[in-house]
């Protein structure tokens, strides 16, 4: 695939309103960086879009010049699909407008927004919708893959709250997709990744949340992990949908509420959130403290936006990351034993295993209602390997893969595509399950040449 001629680029620049960044430009290396430092690719050009018309121009130029295209929202995807070698990166990060309609409780959000951008705007009106737990994540990629977080037990997946989208398709058309217009495309966008077009505007349903919520951390010693996690598995089966508790096994960061002799030691952490009256939340979380010997806790009422950023220091850009993930119907003893075994041999202090509780509202949607079909999942487990130097790649990746293999027999058949790495193409059909064949037909209709293929790709026939 040859880079476009200089004259073609100059002509493109003349009618493109955003910025074109080329390999010789001073800011090229800065602009092409994405969150996962394991991914180091060099596009022939970066088209930094400022409007839907810019996106159309970029798509048309890439098609004319037969360029491979990648699409960047915030560049947070673990697989690194935001960037390609030698082709064009269509960079949406300059498109960051958020408009809130507090009367109808809706938000229109541009694709360059991070969760922090969205949360801050919505919380000015005491509103929110279910999104992820790291505020630097992009709303576009999160939504297109499903999206879940602290609010999901109460209000569902991010895609369950998507009302409409503006889409640029592979042939350069701008379409509005919702339940009553291009509803087949709308069906596919809700979980189908970036396979069917580039979203230039999302419209979400909002819900009253905060601005202050009960949330925080309770930390237990690792020697009590079996008892603590067994009780966690039982407790989360019956807790109210307003309450969400996640379990994390990792080495303790030097948090001020933890004794110094715990710093750097393996621990089990409960991260908890209550989407309701904080006083009622306090009653609901009280049993958690009896699950073991509490090393320390930091639980209280705080602004929702603060809690949404609580894990950002552990997930800063620039480190090397590799994930493996399973969905589970339940957390059984063999899964707990495997988690304890592998949390006991973390290859670096940044590695962790977390078990996210979803269920409740996320399971009440029919599996074929939209592309995201893993409606039987009550838990999502992510094995998060994270480290600094390439010399550690083999050890860290193997640790994650070994744990994934050990827990495979206990997992459900689905998968969360946003947690899938770049080599997991064999899991794509299984991840979508009953909706996969319909997604292929949709790909045939909207992108028969597979122009959008830098993603967890649904190949046309």
Mind listing the domains of the chain with CATH numbers? 6-91 (3.30.43.10), 98-209 (3.30.465.10), 212-419 (3.40.462.20)
Report CA-CA distances (Å) from 206 to 106, 178, 310. Answer: 5, 17, 22
Tens of pLDDT, residues 413-442? 889 999 999 889 889 999 999 999 999 999
What pLDDT does 199 receive? 98
Across-strand partners of 380? Answer: 327, 356
Pick from 80, 93, 79: nearest CA to 27: 93
Low-confidence ranges of the chain (pLDDT < 50): none
Burial of 104 (0-12, 13-18, 19+ CB in 10 A): exposed
* Cis peptide upstream of residue 58 (ω within 30 degrees of 0): no
What pLDDT does 3 receive? 64
Pick from 143, 197, 139: nearest CA to 172: 197
What pLDDT does 7 receive? 87
Report CA-CA distances (Å) from 320 to 79, 249, 440. Answer: 11, 19, 33
- Count Cα atoms within 13 angstroms, Cβ side, for 246: 26
Across-strand partners of 154? Answer: none
For residues 206 and 209, what is the distance between their CA atoms, to the nearest angstrom? 9
What pLDDT does 5 receive? 74
What pLDDT does 2 receive? 64
What pLDDT does 1 receive? 57
Report CA-CA distances (Å) from 342 to 104, 171, 291, 331, 338. Answer: 47, 47, 21, 16, 6
What pLDDT does 232 receive? 98
What pLDDT does 123 receive? 98
pTM flag (> 0.85): yes
- DSSP class of residue 392? G
Which residue carries 């009253």 as its tokens? 208
Residue 125, Ramachandran bin (φ over 0: left; ψ between -120 and 50: alpha; else beta): alpha
What pLDDT does 203 receive? 98
């Amino acid at each position: 695939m040859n880079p476009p001629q200089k004259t073609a680029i100059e002509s493109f620049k003349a009618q493109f309103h955003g910025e074109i960044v080329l390999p010789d430009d001073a800011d090229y290396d800065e602009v092409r960086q994405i969150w996962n430092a394991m991914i180091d690719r060099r596009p022939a050009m970066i088209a930094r879009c400022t409007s839907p018309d810019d996106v159309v121009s970029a798509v048309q130029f890439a098609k004319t010049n037969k360029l491979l295209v990648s699409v960047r929202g915030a560049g947070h995807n673990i697989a690194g699909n935001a960037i390609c070698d030698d082709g064009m990166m269509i960079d949406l990060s300059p498109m960051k407008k958020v408009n809130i309609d507090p009367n109808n409780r809706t938000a229109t959000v541009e694709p360059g927004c991070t969760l922090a951008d969205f949360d801050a705007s919505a919380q000015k009106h005491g509103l929110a919708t279910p999104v992820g737990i790291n505020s630097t994540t992009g709303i576009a990629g999160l939504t297109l893959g499903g999206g879940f977080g602290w609010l999901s037990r109460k209000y569902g997946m991010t895609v369950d709250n998507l009302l409409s989208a503006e889409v640029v398709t592979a042939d350069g058309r701008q379409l509005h997709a919702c339940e009553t217009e291009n509803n087949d495309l709308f069906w596919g966008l809700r979980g189908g990744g970036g396979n069917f077009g580039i979203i230039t505007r999302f419209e979400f349903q909002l819900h009253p949340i905060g601005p202050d919520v009960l949330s925080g951390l309770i930390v237990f010693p690792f020697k009590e992990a079996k008892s603590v996690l067994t009780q966690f598995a039982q407790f989360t089966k019956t807790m109210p949908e307003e309450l969400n508790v996640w379990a994390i096994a990792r080495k303790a960061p030097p948090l001020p509420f933890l004794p110094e002799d715990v710093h750097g030691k393996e621990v089990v952490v409960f991260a908890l959130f209550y989407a309701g009256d904080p006083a009622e939340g306090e009653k609901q979380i009280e049993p958690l403290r009896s699950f073991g010997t509490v090393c320390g806790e930091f639980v209280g009422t705080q602004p929702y936006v603060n809690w949404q950023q609580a894990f950002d220091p552990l997930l800063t850009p620039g480190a090397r990351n590799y994930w493996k993930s399973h969905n589970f119907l339940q957390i059984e003893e063999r899964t707990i034993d495997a988690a304890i075994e592998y949390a006991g041999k973390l290859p670096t202090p940044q590695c962790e295993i977390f078990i996210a509780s979803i269920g409740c509202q996320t399971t009440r949607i029919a599996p074929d209602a939209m592309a995201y079909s893993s409606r039987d999942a009550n838990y999502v487990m992510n094995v998060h390997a994270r480290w600094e130097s390439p010399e550690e790649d083999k050890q860290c990746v193997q640790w994650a893969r070994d744990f994934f293999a050990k827990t495979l027999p206990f997992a459900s058949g689905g998968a969360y595509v946003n947690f899938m790495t770049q080599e997991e193409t064999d899991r794509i059909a299984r991840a979508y399950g009953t909706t996969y064949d319909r997604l292929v037909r949709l790909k045939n209709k909207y992108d028969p040449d597979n122009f959008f293929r830098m993603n967890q790709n649904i190949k046309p026939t």
